[in-house]
Each structure stands twice: as C-alpha cells, then as structure tokens.
C-alpha cells in the first residue's frame, strides 16, 4: 500500500472552462472516494496547468490524499477523470507505509 496525493483539475479538457461547479465536483469526488478508499483527506485548491496543446490555465482543483494499492488507484482515476472530462490526473506517490492494527 502506498500513500498518494491526487490533483484533479476542474476545467473541462475540451472547452477549458469550468462546466461542473466546484461544490458539485467535490461531492462527486467524495462519493467515489467513499466507495474505493478506507480513509482519505479531500480539499480544494487552485493551480496552474499546461494542457497538451500548451494552453496555460489557472484552474480550481480537487486534491485527494489517501493510501491504497495501485489497482484501486487506477480504477478511481479512470472513473473520476472521465466523469469530470479531464485529459489527465496528476498523482504524487510517497514512500510505502503500512497501518498497524491495535490488538485488544
């Protein structure tokens, strides 16, 4: 299991405008995260992004921090990326770590 930080822009990849408002996108992301990950942190931010065609935009962004395996992560990225019409999702992976259960 690895620790991941996902950056999901909210500007539509085709129009380069925000078609889904931030609160709606955040609710959608939250619903998908609940189904796929055991725990997470989710918040919004604003970043600068360069599209594949070199168009530079300042973009509202959802950031999700979680720990999961790569298969769950890839499935989540494909799902949310398509629902928010993104050309990519940036992912930062930290060193692997594990959870130690407390025995009572």
- Please state, in angstroms and rounded to a whole number, the distance separating the CA atoms of residues 51 and 40: 28
Between 85 and 53, the more confident residue is 85
pTM of the model: 0.83
Please give the full DSSP string across 10-45, using - where no structure is assigned.
-S-TTTSS--S-HHHHHHHHHHHHHHH-SSEEEEEE
pLDDT in tens, 46-84: 988 887 888 888 899 999 999 888 888 999 999 999 999
- Please state, in angstroms and rounded to a whole number, the distance separating the CA atoms of residues 37 and 18: 26
Between 102 and 96, the more confident residue is 102
Q: Tell me the pLDDT of the chain averaged across its residues.
A: 89
């Amino acid at each position: 299991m690895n620790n991941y930080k996902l950056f999901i822009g909210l500007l539509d990849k085709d129009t380069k405008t925000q078609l889904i408002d931030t609160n709606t996108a955040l609710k959608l992301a939250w619903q998908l995260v609940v189904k796929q990950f055991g725990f997470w942190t989710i918040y919004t931010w604003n970043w600068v992004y360069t599209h594949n065609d070199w168009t530079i935009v300042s973009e509202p962004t959802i950031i999700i921090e979680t720990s999961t395996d790569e298969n769950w992560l890839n499935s989540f990225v494909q799902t949310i990326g398509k629902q928010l019409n993104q050309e990519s999702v940036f992912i930062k992976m930290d060193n692997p770590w594990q959870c130690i259960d407390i025995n009572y």
